[in-house]
Structure formats: C-alpha cells, structure tokens
Amino acid sequence: MKIGFDNDKYISMQSEQIRKRIGEFGGKLYLEFGGKLFDDTHASRVLPGFQPDSKLRMLLALSDQAEIVIAVSAEALESAKRRGDSGITYDQEVLRLIDLFRSVGLYVGSVVITRNSGIQPAAEALRAVLQEHDIPVFRHYFINGYPSNVPLIVSEDGFGKNDYIETTRPLVVVTAPGPGSGKLATCLSQLYHENRRGIRAGYAKFETFPVWNLPLKHPINLAYEAATADLSDVNMIDPFHLNAYQKVTVNYNRDVESFPILSAIFKEIYGKCPYQSPTDMGVNMVGYCISDDLSCQEASRQEIVRRYYKALLERASDRKDQGLHEREIMRIESIMDQAGITANYRKPVIPAKRVAEESGEPAAAIEMPDGTILTGKTKEMLGCLSSMLINAVKYLAGIDDKLELIPKHLLDPVQKLKTSFLGAENPRLHSDETLIALAVNAANDENAEKALSVLPLLRGCDAHLTVIPSEIDVEVFRRLKINLTCEPKYQGTKLFRL
C-alpha cells in the first residue's frame, strides 16, 4: 500500500491548532479526546502513513502544557463492561492508561468517576486503588433529564453537585477507557465550576473521524460509518455550519443532534455560545495532511470490507442479539453499495475460497506488499494459516518454495505433546506453534533465521481464511499486524467450542 498520509505534518499542524484554541479561550482549554490515544489501528489502516501512536506524539509535543483527566462511568464499572478490542474491563483499562501515559512522560492529573448514584461497590473499589497510589479521584453524579433539562443541569442541583476537578495546566485532555464514559459532561461540568470561580475556560473536541473537510461519501468517511455501524452512527452535512457560513462540512448525527442542547448549556454558563456549529467545536487537521488521496481511498474501501467480515463473524459467534447483528450487517452492505464494492473486493478472498473448494479443506490466502497473492493449504502437520505464513516468509526472504523450513523431526515432538500430553484433538500446529518451531530451527538453519527476520514485512498485509480461526491464531495475527478476515463458518460440525 502506498503512503497516503503525511504523519509529521499532521503532528505539527494538530499541536499548533490546539495551541491556537487554548489562546482563543484566554489560556485554558478542556479538550474532549475521542477515539484511541494509543494504537489507533483504524486510522492507520484507512490513512496509510498514519502511525498508531500519532495522537500520543502530538500530545507529547504539548506535554509541558497538558494534563490528562480520565473519565470512567460508574455504571460501566458496576456492569464490568469490557473493551471490544482487548477484552479487559474498564477499571483495568483506566489503570493501563495511567501506566502508559506516565511511561511516556505525560501528566495524569486525576480520574473522575461519572454517573455516580447510590451504592456502587466497583466504583468504590477503583477509587480505593487509585487513592492508594496517590491519584486524585473525583465524583460526578447522575443528573435526571441530562442532557435536555438545561435549567436543572446548569444549576446547584445539576453540575453544582459534582466535585470540582482541581487542574493546574492550560490544556486539560479528557479521555476515557471507552465510549459512554461521560467525557463531554465532565468538560461541561468543569466549565460551569470554572465560570463560578471567575476563571475563563473553553471547550473543544478532538475526533479524527468523520473528516470534516472531505466529501460526505468519501471512502474515508464511509469507512468510519462502517466502523461504527453497530452504533447506528451516520455521517451527515452539518446544517448549522452550512447555515452560518454557507460552507459544506461533514459531521455525524450524534453531534448534530446534540448541538442545540450544547449551545443552550454554553449560553447558560457564558451568556452566549462560542460556536456556531458542531464543526466549529472540532480541532481536527487530518484532512489537511492527506498526501495521496487515491491511496487513502483504496485503503478505506479495504477497511469497509474488513468491517463487513467482522460483522458476519460476530453474528456467527454471538447468538444473543441476532437482530442487532443483522442491522449492523445490513448497514455495512449499504455502505459497500455506496462505495461501489462487494465482499469479493478484498483480494485474498477468491483465491482462498478456490483453494478450499479444490482441496475440500480450510484454506487461507494473503496479499504480499507487492500485490502477489499467496495461499496456504491445510496439511497433515500444519493448519492452513501456518502453511500460509511459511509460504509468505519464504517469498519475502527469497527462499525456494520447495525448501523445508521446519523439518519433520521438529514437528513430530510438538504434535505428540499436543495430542498425547495436552489432550488436543487437532494435531496440526497453530500459527504460534509454527513460529516457535521456526525460531527453534533458526538456531541451526540459516534459511529459517532469514525467514524469521522478514516477519515485520507482513505488517499491514491483508489475509483471508475460509473458516473461523481459533482465538490463538487471531491473537498471533493481531500481534503480527496482519489484517485477517474470515468466512463466518466453523470448521467441522461440533456444537461445543471453547
């Protein structure tokens, strides 16, 4: 994939734009930070050249001015809500974020537990852990009628009941372990309390997608809709911006729908709203840093199809809410239609299916960085993903395809361990076991060592599997940064699966 995004320009422009917004509000800004600060893999997939840690690096450019407040909902803590990507609970994610921010030199000022109401043991448990480590913890409370009952919200019985979060720096970045954590309400509550103290402070929103200065149906913006199809988010023309400036910009439905209420809250706090539109609230410079639009369009189309296969997989593996999954699938199908693509647009799909049909066994295919498609068959000792990985590293290292990288005398003991001692029914090696065997052989085999050395070149490659992979294989491909999709069907007919 060609580079389509100027990452250095982005970091420079984005940090400068935030500095400018701080100055516009007299020296203090509450910045609601949407999306991931770390490992923004969606952005890196649809904007080739965008580094997953770009937002973090941008904040590091402002580290002397910035402090971080992490907001987490008490309701999410009580329900043990988990992140969809890592699977860890929100309380653990709060602790992980603090460690990560501190490890790179960013200052974490405090944690605010939002939507407090009644007895909430999980929230109290997190508060105790944080206080034990000298991290200030504040409480914000559930407000009846939020966000529509503006007179109550902007009063002593609304925001007035919340703790005032003590901050010391001009840029207060409000982030969270996941959606629904109350970042916006935290910012607004702070504006209320700052205003009561005679301190002038402002609010802005940093959200990468949708990209406000790209066309509504640009593939990058369509890919964002596909990524949030489960939330029913829809990109739309910002009517407030169009009315105020006669300029077409793109926002999404939730911000557009909530803007009149936000405007009313701002007026209650300040006497007037500092913004004419939801677009005005944003500070996103992504659209100005696209260096190759065609490359980004192609990457975004691929992302849309990946999201489609992900939705199909979730429907097959989660029987609890089929209606929700069906709506998500139908939404992404509509997005694919708008983008002019189908599920077969993903290049490894048809070759993988063809090999599976010919062999009668699961098969896999991967697109190499130069566009070459390689396949992997199910073998006596290797699963098809393992076979595919071996073929891929041979190709990248320039090793003869007929050469054996892992000799049988290394594979046999591993298979015996799995079946005889660990009780595995499937003797074939998963991808992690295959890579370990390859690494063992690399100690004595120059070609195996050479093959291992090219593994980083697989990062960003697209692969497809004709059956649902094991969790082990999913994790290995995630760590290798290979974009793996699959057909939504299990191998075999067993009803019980781990």
37-64 per-position pLDDT tens digit: 777 889 999 999 999 889 889 999 999 9
pLDDT digits (tens, 9 = 90+) for 65-81: 999 999 999 999 999 98
Q: What pLDDT is stored for residue 495 in this prediction?
A: 44
For the record, the structure tokens of 490 come out as: 């299990």
3-state secondary structure at position 97: helix
pLDDT beyond 50 at 333: yes
Residue 427 has pLDDT above 80, yes or no: no
Q: For residue 182, give both structure tokens.
A: 């109350």
Q: Is the confidence at residue 497, as pLDDT, over 70? A: no
pLDDT of the residue at 494: 57
CA distance 228 to 209: 10
What's residue 320's pLDDT?
74
Rounded to two decimals, the pTM is: 0.89
Q: How many CB atoms sit inside 10 A of residue 116's CB? A: 20
- Lowest-confidence segment of 96-100, 161-165, 401-405, 424-428 by average pLDDT: 424-428
Residue 262 pLDDT level (bands cut at 50, 70, 90): confident
pLDDT tens digits, one per residue of 435-479: 999 999 999 999 999 999 999 999 999 999 999 999 999 999 999
Average pLDDT, the chain: 92
Query: CA dihedral defined by 151, 155, 159, 163, rounded to 10 degrees?
Result: -170
Provide mean pLDDT across the span 104-132. 94
Average pLDDT, stretch 256-279?
A: 91
- Mean pLDDT, range 373-391, rounded to an integer: 95
How many Å apart are CA 341 and CA 37, to the nearest integer?
31
Residue 70: its pLDDT value, please? 97
State which amino acid sits at residue 178.
G
Split at pLDDT 50, 70, 90, the class of 318 is confident
| pLDDT for position 135 | 96
Q: How confident is the model at residue 254 (pLDDT cuts 50, 70, 90)?
A: confident
Are the C-beta atoms of 306 and 228 separated by less than 8 Å?
A: no
Residue 26: which residues within 8 A CB-CB, separation 6 or more?
A: 200, 201, 202
pLDDT computed for residue 496 by the predictor = 42
In this predicted structure, the answer to whether residue 414 has a pLDDT above a threshold of 50 is yes
CA distance 56 to 240: 31
Least confident of 125-134, 143-152, 235-244: 143-152
- Quick check: 420 pLDDT over 90? no
- Plot region of 114 (φ>0 → left; ψ -120 to 50 → alpha; else → beta): beta
Closest among 369, 484, 383 to 427, alpha carbons compared: 383
Instruction: Using alpha carbons, list the distances in angstroms from residue 308 to 248, 448, 472.
Output: 29, 36, 22
- Angle 270-273-277 from CA coordinates, rounded to 5°: 160
List the domains of the chain with CATH numbers: 7-206 (3.10.630.10), 346-498 (3.40.140.40)
Q: Angle 384-397/446-453 helices, nearest 10 degrees?
A: 100
What per-residue confidence (pLDDT) applies to 493?
Answer: 54
